[in-house]
Amino acid sequence: MVSRVRIPRTDLEVHPLCLGGNVFGWTADVDTSAAVLDAYLDAGGDFVDTADSYTWRVEGNTGGDSERVLGGWMAARGVRDRLVVATKVGSWPERPGLSPANVRAACDDSLRRLGTDHIDLYYAHRDDPDTPLEDALGGFDELVRAGKVRHVGLSNFSAERLTSALTVAERHGLARPVALQPHYNLVERAVFEDELADVAASADLGVMPYFALAKGFLTGKYRPGDAPDTSGPMASARAGGAVEYLDDRGVRVLGVLEEVAGAHDVPMASVALAWLAAQPTVTAPIASARTVEQLHTILPMADLELADDEVAALTTASEDTRLDA
């Protein structure tokens, strides 16, 4: 039985791996996405992350594609009440920013695409400096009071703005953010650990890191001498970004990941996710899977308990020695 983790300050207990929906309707078509979701649900998974901006400019798509794929699957399977659904507002050019009017309209759009009457965790996808925090959080608070949103989260906020948002929410009695979604993984540590971690800990926020596998680098797929893959829909940015991690530190990290994975007989990706899950404040890392086979490389993290010396070895290997030069 997979152990559950609780999102702080909520009654939500979730699977320790949050399934990322950014590939639904894009690199995973509707049928493949359904197969991945079926396998995740069968394995005890119940925490899915998407966004209104996960929309792909292909023929026949009208926006909000990931939400629509997820909503169609939930309706077909009749499983909405078994899932904790997180989505986001503020990044999609069709619904930009965090003005109360936009947050209200975007939420209604997302509810319609998801085929549900409530969103369990609704994130501000990124900060909106043009909207006062009191107004932005007031818009989210209105949705919570209306029963359309259960809890509020923030993504891609600086430590200063995160602190301000928490202060504003408390001062004005608005729905308090309970979750933070930052960019954080074994080879991207500095921003979260040096700037955001203390705020998250002191505010008792649940942390759901995205790009938890560093654009696929921490799966072990990329090795020294590899060139970026220039074919297929995920080519360019993601593969190129992954190969950029192949410096001395990246090679060290891969070496320790491979050693620990071998000791536990699990894929390297699961070890990378388990390291994240072992970090203070992290509730559930987010990782996506384009196929059922890929899903099976990340699911073992849910049962994987790394020894203290294994966590320490990975932490040491991933330290950026250039910062000490």
* DSSP-derived secondary structure for 45-111: --EEE--TT-----TT--S-HHHHHHHHHHHHHT-GGG-EEEEEEB--TTSBS--HHHHHHHHHHHH
Q: Which residue shows structure tokens 């990322």? A: 20
228 is a domain residue? no
41 is a domain residue? yes
- pLDDT, residue 63, reads 75
Beta bridge partners of 19: 48, 287
248 is a domain residue? no
Query: Any idea which of 11-15, 62-66, 251-255 has the lowest mean pLDDT?
Result: 62-66
Contacts of 245 (CB under 8 A, 6+ apart): 187, 214, 217, 222
- pLDDT, residue 229, reads 59
- Between strands 13-14 and 5-6, the pairing is antiparallel
Of the residues 40, 54, 184, 245, which is catalytic? 54
How many domains is the chain built from? 1
246 is a domain residue? no
Percent of the residues in the chain that have a pLDDT greater than 70, as a whole number: 91
76 is a domain residue? yes
- pLDDT, residue 325, reads 41
Q: Which residue shows structure tokens 């608070």? A: 141
Give residue 51's domain range. 10-217+267-307
Q: How far is CA 127 from the centre of its chain?
A: 16
- C-alpha 176/C-alpha 169 separation (Å) is 5
Nearest to 183 by CA among 205, 208, 166, 201: 208
Query: Any idea which of 190-204, 222-236, 263-277 has the lowest mean pLDDT?
Result: 222-236
Spatial contact of 127 and 120, defined as CB atoms under 8 Å apart = no
Q: What is the pTM of this model?
A: 0.94
- pLDDT, residue 196, reads 98
174 is a domain residue? yes
Structure tokens, 91: 């990044």
- Amino acid identity, residue 161? R
Contacts of 145 (CB under 8 A, 6+ apart): 175
Spatial contact of 185 and 211, defined as CB atoms under 8 Å apart = yes
Spatial contact of 52 and 124, defined as CB atoms under 8 Å apart = no
The CATH number given to whatever domain includes residue 44 is 3.20.20.100
Structure tokens, 222: 């990329």
- pLDDT tens per residue, range 211-231: 999 999 999 998 887 665 555
- pLDDT tens per residue, range 148-159: 999 999 999 999
172 is a domain residue? yes
261 is a domain residue? no
* Position 144 confidence tier, pLDDT thresholds 50, 70, 90: very high
The residue count of the chain comes to 325
Any catalytic annotation for residue 210?
Answer: no
